[in-house]
Amino acid sequence: MTLNKHHCCSTFIFLLLTLLSQFYSVESELQLNYYAESCPNAEEIIKQQVIKLYNKHGNTAVSWVRNLFHDCMVKSCDASLLLRRVKGMESEQESDRSFGMRNFKYINTIKEAVEKECPMTVSCADIVALSARDGILMLGGPRLEMRSGRKDSKQSYLTEVQNAIPNHNDTIDLVLARFQSIGIDTPGAVALLGINTCLFLLLFFFLFIMRKII
């Protein structure tokens, strides 16, 4: 039996993103079927919108996964990534670490569909997380159960993005310092930097999650 390399990569990454979103959603009581009573069709609506957008635009599925990574790495999984610049507050989207991120407007498309069914019920943070889950499905990965109940932030954390998200222009000392901040020593960082992108993400998320749990 031959396994599809892309399928394996997306599966591993999503498993780890799922754990990341569970353990790094502060001040939230996460649970399966969180909207079972308040908005029973919420997850199905999100799934159908993800499928529709993927079939129309193609690249949206990757955007959903990257959104979840950025959102959870900066403070918590709270949709702060989606906040736009307003007077007195800058947007995380303005960071150079967010370069190449796109399709934010389609999160609004999903949100609008959910709002028609259940006004002011489903958080944007959950839409970010659940759309990533369903995006992985469109990329050939599995559909797994994901807890929900995340709360939306009213505060953007632009300065935190610089500290939390790796940058391709970072010096080796800064790269090592970033890894050390989440408990990965120099030999571990060197090992990670020497492997392919899929395994890098797999091991990076795994080590990050383990440090948060332990």
**Domains annotated on the chain, with CATH:** 35-164 (1.10.520.10), 166-213 (no CATH)
Q: Residues comprising the binding site for substrate?
A: 166
Q: Residues comprising the binding site?
A: 71, 74, 78, 80, 92, 166, 197
pLDDT at 74: 82
Beta-carbon contacts of 64 under 8 Å, excluding residues fewer than 6 positions away, are 50, 103, 128, 131, 132, 134, 135
pLDDT at 17: 56
pLDDT at 190: 66
How far apart CA 65 and CA 141 sit, in angstroms, is 12
Q: Which pLDDT tens digits describe the chain residue by residue (214 residues)? A: 444 545 555 555 555 555 555 555 555 578 999 999 999 999 999 999 999 999 998 888 888 888 887 888 788 889 999 998 888 788 888 887 777 788 889 999 999 999 999 999 999 999 999 998 898 888 777 777 888 999 999 999 888 888 777 776 778 787 777 667 656 677 766 665 554 455 455 455 445 444 443 2
For residues 61 and 139, the answer to whether their CB atoms sit within 8 Å is yes
pLDDT at 210: 44
Q: Residues comprising the binding site for Ca(2+)?
A: 71, 74, 78, 80, 92, 197
Decide if 168 is catalytic.
no
For residues 141 and 71, the answer to whether their CB atoms sit within 8 Å is no
For residues 45 and 120, the answer to whether their CB atoms sit within 8 Å is no
pLDDT at 94: 85
pTM value is 0.74
Q: Coil, helix or strand for 89?
A: strand
Interhelix angle 5-23/124-138, rounded to 10 degrees, is: 160
How far apart CA 111 and CA 56 sit, in angstroms, is 17
pLDDT at 160: 84
Catalytic residue among 7, 57, 70, 168: 70
How far apart CA 81 and CA 39 sit, in angstroms, is 24
